[in-house]
C-alpha cells in the first residue's frame, strides 16, 4: 500500500489501547503512526486532514463477515465487500471460510489476501476452515493456511458438531496461537426452526430455535477448552445463558472470548412480528428475547463481551424476496454497524465512546492477533475518522455492498460520515 | 360500522367490533342457503382467485361455494409450497395472477406470513385461508358463528381446545377471537406438543384432558398428525388416544349442554371417538354449514360491496 504523509489535525482522539481520549494531532508517515502530540506542524509536502469536530480512532475491525468469494460473487465479492467495509468505517475485516470452494487450504487463503490487496479498500484477514470442506470430519491444513495469512479457524455457517474434532482443533490451533471460532448451534435442537423459540414464535406459528441450541454447544466447548488449554471464541453470541457461561470461564482465567452483533443488541424476536415476517429479520442465531438482549447489553458494559461483529451476510434480493421460512439466514452489517452503535449504544448512554472503540477495534484486533486496534507510535496507520453528531438515514440503495438485506432500512441515526486510512493511505470509494 | 381493511390476514389484529360485524353479516347470509335458488348477485362481475399451495378440500370447497352463491367469477389455482420443489417464487406467481385483475385472492399456504407477503405486493384484497401454524381466521370465525348460534353469546363461556396446540393455526386464531369476545380459553395437550409462551396469547394451559373438560361449555378437538410431527413428540396413536382422545365418558365432566367441535378432517379413534363425533353433543356438521355463510360475509365485506346497494 502506498505511504502518503498526512497530518490529521484538530480531532478528538479516542484510543483505548493507550488510554487516550483528548485532542491530539497525528502524523502519519511510511504507512505508520509516527507522532501523536497536542499540536503538530505539518512537515513539508505533507497533506493535512482537518478533523475539527470529528473523532479519530484506531481503524475499526469487523471480525466476522462473509464476502462470498470465491463461488457466490453474485451476492458479494471481495471487492464490493471491502468497499462496504470502508464505507462503514472499517479498515479491517476477517472473512469466514464458508465460500465455494471452502477456504480450507492455502491456495484459497492466498487468493483472498491477494484480491483484497489488489483493491486496498480495507485489510481482509481470512479465517480458515476448521475441517476439510467444512465437513466436520478431518482437520483442515490449519498451519498452511496460517502461513498464507489466516488469523483464526472456524466452520462458521455450521457448527463444529463432533466433540472430538473440536477438542483436537483447540489443541492443534495452540501451535499457531490462534482462536477456534465456533458458530455454536446444536442442529438437532434447531431442527426446522427459523426464529427464536418463545412467545413470539408461538404467536406467529413459526418453528422455533430454542436458546438451548446455542447453550449446549457453548457448555460443551467450554469444557473442552478447559481441558485442552486452547483459545475459544464464541461467534455471534446471542443468549443470556451462553453469556453467563463465558463470564464464568473468564473468571476461571480461561482463554475464552466472544462477540455479539448489532442486531442482537438492538432487535428482538418481536421485530419479526413488527416487520410482518420480513425475511430481513431472519438470521442465525435468531433474534432473541428482550431478556437475552438486556443481558447482552449488560455484558457489553461489564466487559464480558470482547467485540461487536456484524456477521455481514449478503444474500441476493431474489433469495430474500420469498416466504420467511424459505429465505436464507443472514443480514448485512458492515454499512450500518457504526451508526447503529454510535446512536443506540453511545448516545443512549449504555457505552462510553472509549468502550465502543474497544469493542469495534482494540478488542477484535487483540483476539485475532492483528497489529490493528491502536494508534500508538509505530503502529500501522489504520485509522477511522467519523462525525459523532452527523445525522444519517440508513438507505440500502446507497450501499456499496451488492446485497440489500437489512432490517435497518430507514432508521434515522446520529453518527456516521466516515473516512478511513489504511496503511497511511486515505481510502476513496 | 363499516369494514375498512383491504385484507383479512388474521384475527390478532381485528377489534371485537370487526369480529361482530363479520358474524352479523354471516348471519344474514345464512338465509341464502335456505332459498330454493341459493344465489345472490352481490359479487357479480367481481373476480376471486383461490390460490391453494396446500391440499385442502374442505376449506377450498367452502370458499368456492361461498363465491358461487355470491355470483363472483372464481378461479382455482393450486401449487406446491414445499421449499424443496423449486419453482416460480410466490411473488412471481402472485404478480401473474394480479395481471388478471382479481378483486380478491384467497390464499392457503404452508408457511406463516405468506399471505402477508402477498398483501404487501398486490393491490388485490388478500384472505388468509390458513398460513402454516400461524392463523386461519375464517375457521375461527365459523367456529364463533357456531358457538353463538348454540349459546347465544361468546362472552363468559368456557372453551377448551385440545390436541396438537403447537402445530395448529386453528388454535391461534381461536384464542385471539374467543378472548377478544370475552370467553375463557383453555388449551390442553401433551407437553411435547405445547408451544412455549402460549399463555401470552391469553389462554390457560392444561396438560390433562380431564382437567380441561371440567365445566367446559365448548370443547374443540384438534386433528393430530403424528406422521408429520415425528415420533419424538408422541410415541404412538394408541398412546395418544389414551391420554387425550375424547370419549363419551369424559364428557360427564363438562357442562351438561356442552357442544363438541372439530375443524376437520377428523381422525376417528385418534383424537375423537366415533361415539362422540356422531353423538348428541357434536356440532361438527353445522360448522361446515356456517363456514359457507362466514366466508360469504368475508368475501362481501372485503370486496367493498358493502358500500353499494345489496
Ligand atoms: Zn455463524
Per-residue pLDDT tens for B247-275? Answer: 999 999 999 999 999 998 999 999 999 99
Residue B109 contacts A where some CB pair is shorter than 8 Å: yes
Residue B132 contacts A where some CB pair is shorter than 8 Å: yes
Q: Which three cell numbers stand for residue A101?
A: 470452494
Dihedral sign, CA of B34, B36, B38, B40? Answer: negative
A160 CA distance to ligand 1 middle (Å): 11
* B221-248: burial string, b at 16+ Cβ within 10 Å, e else: bbbbebeeeeeebbeebeebbeebbbee
Of A198, A200, A326, the CB nearest to B111: A326
Tell me if A336 sits within 8 A of A394, measured CB to CB: yes
Three-state SS at A417: strand
Q: What average pLDDT does range B207-224 have in this prediction?
A: 97
Phi-psi region of B290 (alpha: psi -120 to 50; beta: other; left: phi over 0): alpha
Q: What average pLDDT does range A299-323 have in this prediction?
A: 96
Per-residue pLDDT tens for A253-302? Answer: 999 999 999 999 999 999 999 999 999 999 999 999 999 999 999 999 99
Cα B2 from Cα A48, distance rounded (Å): 68
- ipTM of model: 0.92
- According to the model, what pLDDT value does residue B82 have? 53
Kindly report each contact of residues A345-354 with a partner whose C-beta sits within 8 Å and lies 24 or more positions away, as own/partner: A345/A265, A345/A300, A346/A388, A346/A415, A347/A414, A347/A415, A350/A297, A350/A300, A350/A301, A351/A300, A351/A301, A353/A14, A353/A21, A353/A55, A353/A388, A354/A14, A354/A16, A354/A21
Residue B233 contacts A where some CB pair is shorter than 8 Å: no
Cα A414 from Cα A342, distance rounded (Å): 7
Task: Compute the radius of gyration of chain B from its Cα atoms.
Answer: 19
- For residue A131, is pLDDT > 50? yes
What residues of chain A lie within 8 A of the CB of B198, using their CB? 202
User: Residue B73, exposed/middle/buried by CB under 10 A (0-12, 13-18, 19+)?
Assistant: middle
Per-residue pLDDT tens for A298-307? Answer: 999 999 999 9
Beta strands in chain B (DSSP E): 47-52, 73-78, 104-109, 125-131, 158-162, 184-188, 204-206, 218-221, 259-261
A72: how many CB neighbours lie within 10 A of its CB? 17
Per-residue pLDDT tens for B69-87? Answer: 999 999 998 877 554 455 6
Q: Which DSSP string corresponds to A322-391?
A: S-GGGSPS----TTTHHHHHIIIIIITTSS-HHHHHIIIIIHHHHHHT-S-S---TTSB--EEEEEEEEE
Cα B161 from Cα B138, distance rounded (Å): 17
- According to the model, what pLDDT value does residue A1 have? 43
Tell me if A170 sits within 8 A of A228, measured CB to CB: yes
Cα A117 from Cα A186, distance rounded (Å): 37
H/E stretch holding A426 reads strand A425-426
* A–B CB contacts, 8 A cutoff, strictly below: 72
- For residue A97, is pLDDT > 80? yes
A26: how many CB neighbours lie within 10 A of its CB? 26
Question: Nearest Cα to A271, choosing from A250, A288, A295?
Answer: A288
- For residue A158, is pLDDT > 60? yes
- According to the model, what pLDDT value does residue B307 have? 61
Question: Nearest Cα to A59, choosing from A413, A385, A409, A325?
Answer: A385
DSSP one-letter code for B103: S
Of B90, B133, B196, the CB nearest to A198: B196
Residue B184 contacts A where some CB pair is shorter than 8 Å: no
- What is the pTM (predicted TM-score) of this model? 0.94
Tell me if B241 sits within 8 A of B270, measured CB to CB: yes
Cα B253 from Cα B249, distance rounded (Å): 8
Cα B295 from Cα B29, distance rounded (Å): 10
- According to the model, what pLDDT value does residue B81 have? 57
Cα B121 from Cα A322, distance rounded (Å): 12
Task: Compute the radius of gyration of chain A from its Cα atoms.
Answer: 20
Q: Please name every residue paired with A185 in a beta bridge, in sequence order, or none if there are none.
A: none
Question: Nearest Cα to A308, choosing from A354, A262, A342?
Answer: A262
Residue with cell 415420533: B231
- Chain A residues bordering chain B (beta-carbon distance below 8 Å): 197-208, 276-277, 318, 321-326
Cα B275 from Cα B247, distance rounded (Å): 7
Which sequence positions of A are flagged as catalytic?
Answer: 311
For residue A114, CA distances in Å to A117, A120, A369, B74, B270 come to: 5, 10, 20, 60, 64
- pLDDT mean across residues, chain A: 97
Question: Nearest Cα to B175, choosing from B146, B208, B137, B206?
Answer: B137
Of A201, A203, A322, the CB nearest to B90: A322
B160 CA distance to ligand 1 middle (Å): 42
- According to the model, what pLDDT value does residue B83 have? 46
Amino acid at each position: 500500500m502506498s505511504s502518503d504523509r498526512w497530518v490529521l489535525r484538530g480531532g478528538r482522539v479516542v484510543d483505548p489501547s493507550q488510554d487516550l481520549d483528548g485532542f491530539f494531532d497525528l502524523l502519519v508517515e511510511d504507512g505508520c503512526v509516527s507522532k501523536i502530540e497536542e499540536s503538530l506542524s505539518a512537515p513539508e509536502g505533507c497533506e493535512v486532514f482537518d478533523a475539527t469536530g470529528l473523532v479519530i480512532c484506531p481503524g475499526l475491525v469487523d471480525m466476522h463477515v462473509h464476502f462470498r468469494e470465491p463461488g457466490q460473487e453474485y451476492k458479494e465479492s471481495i471487492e464490493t465487500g471491502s468497499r462496504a467495509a470502508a464505507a462503514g468505517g472499517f479498515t479491517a475485516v476477517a472473512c469466514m471460510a464458508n465460500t465455494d470452494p471452502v477456504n480450507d487450504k492455502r491456495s484459497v487463503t492466498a487468493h483472498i489476501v491477494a484480491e483484497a490487496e489488489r483493491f486496498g479498500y480495507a485489510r481482509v484477514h481470512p479465517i480458515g476452515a476448521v475441517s476439510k470442506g467444512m465437513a466436520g470430519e478431518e482437520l483442515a491444513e490449519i498451519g498452511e493456511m496460517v502461513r498464507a495469512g489466516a488469523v483464526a479457524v472456524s466452520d462458521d455457517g455450521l457448527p463444529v458438531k463432533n466433540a472430538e474434532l473440536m477438542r483436537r482443533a483447540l489443541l492443534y490451533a495452540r501451535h499457531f496461537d490462534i482462536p477456534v471460532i465456533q458458530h455454536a448451534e446444536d442442529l438437532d435442537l434447531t431442527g426446522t426452526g427459523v426464529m427464536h423459540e418463545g412467545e413470539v414464535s408461538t404467536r406467529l406459528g413459526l418453528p422455533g430455535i430454542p436458546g438451548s441450541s446455542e447453550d449446549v454447544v457453548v457448555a460443551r466447548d467450554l469444557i473442552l477448552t478447559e481441558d485442552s488449554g486452547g483459545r475459544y471464541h464464541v461467534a455471534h453470541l446471542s443468549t443470556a445463558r451462553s453469556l453467563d457461561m463465558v463470564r464464568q470461564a473468564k473468571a476461571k482465567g480461561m482463554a475464552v472470548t466472544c462477540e455479539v452483533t448489532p442486531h442482537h443488541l438492538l432487535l428482538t424476536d418481536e421485530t419479526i412480528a413488527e416487520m410482518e415476517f420480513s425475511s430481513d429479520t431472519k438470521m442465525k442465531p435468531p433474534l432473541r428475547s428482550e431478556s437475552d438482549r438486556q443481558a447482552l447489553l449488560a455484558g457489553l458494559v461489564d466487559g464480558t463481551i470482547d467485540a461487536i461483529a456484524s456477521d455481514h451476510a449478503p444474500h441476493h434480493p431474489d433469495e430474500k424476496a420469498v416466504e420467511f421460512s424459505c429465505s436464507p439466514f443472514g443480514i448485512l452489517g458492515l454499512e450500518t454497524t457504526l451508526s447503529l452503535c454510535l446512536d443506540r449504544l453511545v448516545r443512549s448512554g449504555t457505552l462510553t465512546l472509549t468502550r465502543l472503540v474497544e469493542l469495534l477495534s482494540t478488542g477484535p484486533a487483540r483476539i485475532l492477533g492483528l497489529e490493528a486496534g491502536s494508534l500508538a507510535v509505530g503502529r500501522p496507520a489504520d485509522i477511522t475518522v467519523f462525525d459523532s453528531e452527523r445525522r444519517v438515514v440508513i438507505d440500502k440503495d446507497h450501499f456499496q455492498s451488492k446485497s440489500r438485506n437489512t432490517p435497518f432500512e430507514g432508521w434515522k441515526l446520529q453518527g456516521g460520515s466516515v473516512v478511513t486510512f489504511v496503511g497511511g493511505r486515505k481510502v476513496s470509494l | 360500522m363499516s369494514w375498512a381493511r383491504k385484507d383479512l390476514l388474521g384475527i390478532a389484529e381485528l377489534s371485537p367490533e370487526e369480529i361482530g360485524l363479520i358474524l352479523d353479516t354471516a348471519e344474514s347470509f345464512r338465509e341464502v342457503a335456505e332459498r330454493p335458488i341459493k344465489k345472490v348477485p352481490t359479487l357479480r362481475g367481481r373476480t376471486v382467485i383461490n390460490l391453494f399451495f396446500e391440499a385442502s378440500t374442505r376449506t377450498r370447497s367452502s370458499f368456492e361455494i361461498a363465491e358461487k352463491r355470491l355470483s363472483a367469477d372464481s378461479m382455482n389455482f393450486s401449487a406446491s409450497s414445499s421449499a424443496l420443489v423449486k419453482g416460480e417464487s410466490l411473488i412471481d406467481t402472485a404478480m401473474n395472477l394480479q395481471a388478471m385483475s382479481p378483486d380478491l385472492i384467497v390464499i392457503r399456504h404452508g408457511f406463516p406470513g405468506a399471505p402477508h407477503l402477498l398483501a404487501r405486493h398486490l393491490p388485490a384484497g388478500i384472505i388468509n385461508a390458513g398460513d402454516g401454524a400461524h392463523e386461519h381466521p375464517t375457521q375461527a370465525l365459523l367456529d364463533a358463528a357456531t358457538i353463538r348460534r348454540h349459546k347465544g353469546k361468546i362472552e363468559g363461556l368456557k372453551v377448551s381446545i385440545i390436541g396438537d396446540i403447537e402445530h395448529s393455526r386453528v388454535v391461534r386464531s381461536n384464542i385471539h377471537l374467543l378472548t377478544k369476545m370475552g370467553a375463557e380459553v383453555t388449551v390442553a395437550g401433551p407437553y411435547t406438543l405445547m408451544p412455549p409462551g402460549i399463555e401470552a396469547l391469553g389462554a390457560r394451559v392444561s396438560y390433562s384432558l380431564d382437567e380441561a373438560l371440567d365445566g367446559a361449555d365448548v370443547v374443540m378437538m384438534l386433528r393430530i398428525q403424528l406422521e408429520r410431527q415425528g415420533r419424538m413428540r408422541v410415541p404412538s396413536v394408541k398412546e395418544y388416544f389414551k391420554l387425550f382422545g375424547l370419549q363419551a365418558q369424559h364428557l360427564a365432566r363438562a357442562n351438561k349442554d356442552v357442544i363438541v367441535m372439530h375443524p376437520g378432517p377428523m381422525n376417528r379413534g385418534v383424537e375423537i371417538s366415533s361415539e362422540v363425533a356422531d353423538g348428541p353433543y357434536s356440532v361438527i356438521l353445522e360448522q361446515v354449514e356456517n363456514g359457507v355463510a362466514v366466508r360469504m360475509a368475508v368475501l362481501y365485506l372485503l370486496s367493498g360491496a358493502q358500500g353499494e346497494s345489496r
